[in-house]
Amino acid sequence: MKYEVFLNNKKYEIEVDECSVALKGVSEVAAPAVSAPVASAPAPAPAAAPTASASGTSVVSPMPGTILAVNITNGQTVRAGEVLFILEAMKMENDIVAPCDGIVKQVLVTKGTTVETDQVLAII
């Protein structure tokens, strides 16, 4: 694939294939006219806090990844801050902890499950 990139008022033609990048021909060009300021992207929404509902408090995944360990079972008593799951995301292990004290009502994932952001992992 070929791309044209403008950097410091210079035009670069870049060719990209599976294994390498080649830079071809450099020429001076005028800076493009800016008609209106570019709006910045909105800030990402804050991570969803566990929600309390009639059925209990949801423990949710803060990011997409794979469940490496499930440290709880249905009916188990847990304390706030206790590690319930270990989630692998981007080759890092992340502890998913209990948001509150309580009894585990339902575990919704097993070891090896691929999860998405805000997916409910368990109900306390």
pLDDT in tens, 31-52: 555 555 555 555 555 545 455 4
| pLDDT at residue number 16 | 67
114/34: higher pLDDT: 114
Q: In angstroms, rounded to a whole number, what is the distance separating the alpha carbons of residues 78 and 66?
A: 22
- 119: number of Cβ within 10 Å: 17
- Three-state secondary structure call for residue 98: coil
What would you report as the CA-atom Rg of the chain, rounded to the nearest whole angstrom? Answer: 24
19 falls in which pLDDT band (50, 70, 90)? Answer: low
pTM across the whole model: 0.57
Mean pLDDT, the chain, rounded, equals 79
Nearest to 30 by CA among 11, 2, 14: 11
Number of separate domains in the chain: 2
| pLDDT at residue number 22 | 53
- Residue 120 pLDDT > 60, yes or no? yes
70 falls in which pLDDT band (50, 70, 90)? Answer: very high
Domain range enclosing 4: 1-31
Residues 25 and 60 in one domain: no
Residues 59 and 118 in one domain: yes
- Joined together, the tokens standing for residue 104 give 């585990």
- Residue 124 pLDDT > 60, yes or no? yes
Residue 44 within a domain: no
Q: In angstroms, rounded to a whole number, what is the distance separating the alpha carbons of residues 121 and 69?
A: 12
CA torsion 101-103-108-111 (nearest 10°) is: 80
| pLDDT at residue number 10 | 82
pLDDT in tens, 57-69: 999 999 999 999 9
Side-chain half-sphere CA neighbours of 39 within 13 A: 3
Name the residue with tokens 């300021």: 37
Residue 104: which CATH number?
A: 2.40.50.100
Q: In angstroms, rounded to a whole number, what is the distance separating the alpha carbons of residues 112 and 104?
A: 20
